[in-house]
């Protein structure tokens, strides 16, 4: 006899309430769920700004079956691993509540199904690999060090962050607003790092974008075009990953553009292993 699938949506008023109910469930696949976990933890600690956030659980026959988070009406809906029936129910919930969505992002299967159920007018913005590192393999250091970024280098950091946004988000319509917002948040949270040569020249950057109980997400890995090909991206990522592990975290994770074989190769060489894929759909 096939068990009837009875789905319900449970709403939470705060990130704290959401995590109390859902954190243990999400931690079972911590790196796969790094985006939704990291956003919830960041909102809880006031490290990530949220505007009228929506925290949801998908309940199947009385048990947790998945989660969704909308941090801001201008940002995409973030979903965790959810079975097909739960995704369909979640999509129906948003349509019934007449909530407008800009897009959806999460593990490939649930995000793809949500996109198809939501509208025929969607496009795939990013198809990314989800990578996890438990032990770092440091590349040869040809000279330089990982340095915490602060306001003394604001001009140089501004150029780097703007370059990152333009390279990684080519469809971004408000580039200036986006990179200023990202830079201010990273400086405020003290999570931005650079690779600095002995000469004092800053040649690459990376950031700790989000944290969860046992892991941290490395992001914003960017080297200006005129410095590429020297291994600086590998160095800044490897040494920042090492710093994260030495701080007490058990693992690091990151997203890669699957269309960029160079970056995927670089991360594998320093110890990252691909454990899944993520898709980000834009709704037209």
Q: Where are the alpha helices (DSSP H) in the chain?
A: 15-27, 34-44, 84-96, 108-118, 154-168, 175-189, 232-246, 261-269
pLDDT at residue 172 above 80? no
In the chain the domains, ranked by start, together with CATH numbers, are 7-118 (3.40.630), 132-278 (3.40.630.30)
150 vs 58, which has greater pLDDT?
58
Model confidence band, residue 16 (pLDDT cutoffs 50, 70, 90) = very high
Does the pLDDT of residue 96 top 90, yes or no?
yes
For residue 284, the Cα-to-chain-centroid distance in whole angstroms is 22
Q: Label residue 4 by pLDDT band (50, 70, 90).
A: low
- Distance set, CA 71 to CA 14, 79, 88, 182, 232 (Å): 11, 12, 21, 15, 33
**Predicted confidence band of residue 153 (pLDDT cuts 50, 70, 90):** confident
The yes-or-no verdict on residue 78 having pLDDT over 80 is: yes
């Amino acid at each position: 006899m096939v068990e009837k699938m009875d789905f319900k949506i449970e709403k939470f008023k705060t990130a704290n309430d959401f995590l109390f109910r859902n954190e243990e469930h999400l931690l079972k696949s911590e790196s796969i769920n790094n985006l939704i976990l990291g956003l919830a933890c960041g909102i809880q600690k006031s490290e990530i700004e949220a505007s009228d956030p929506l925290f949801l659980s998908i309940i199947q026959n009385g048990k947790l079956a998945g989660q969704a988070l909308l941090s801001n009406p201008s940002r995409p809906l973030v979903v965790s691993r959810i079975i097909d029936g739960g995704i369909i129910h979640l999509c129906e919930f948003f349509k019934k509540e007449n909530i407008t969505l800009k897009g959806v992002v999460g593990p490939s299967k649930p995000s793809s199904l949500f996109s198809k159920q939501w509208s025929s007018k969607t496009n795939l913005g990013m198809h990314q690999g989800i990578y996890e590192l438990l032990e770092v393999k440091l590349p040869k250091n040809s000279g330089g060090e990982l340095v915490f970024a602060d306001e003394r280098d604001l001009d140089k950091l501004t150029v780097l962050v703007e370059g990152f946004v333009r390279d990684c988000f080519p469809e971004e319509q408000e580039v200036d607003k986006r990179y200023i917002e990202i830079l201010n948040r990273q400086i405020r949270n003290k999570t931005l790092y650079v690779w600095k040569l002995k000469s004092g020249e800053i040649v690459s950057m990376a950031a700790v974008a989000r944290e969860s109980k046992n892991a941290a997400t490395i992001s914003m890995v960017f080297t200006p075009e005129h410095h590429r090909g020297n291994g600086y991206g590998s160095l800044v990522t490897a040494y920042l990953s090492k710093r994260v592990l030495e701080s007490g975290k058990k693992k690091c994770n990151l997203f890669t553009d699957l269309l960029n074989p160079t970056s995927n190769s670089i991360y594998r060489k320093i110890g990252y292993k691909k454990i899944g894929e993520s898709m980000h759909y834009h709704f037209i």
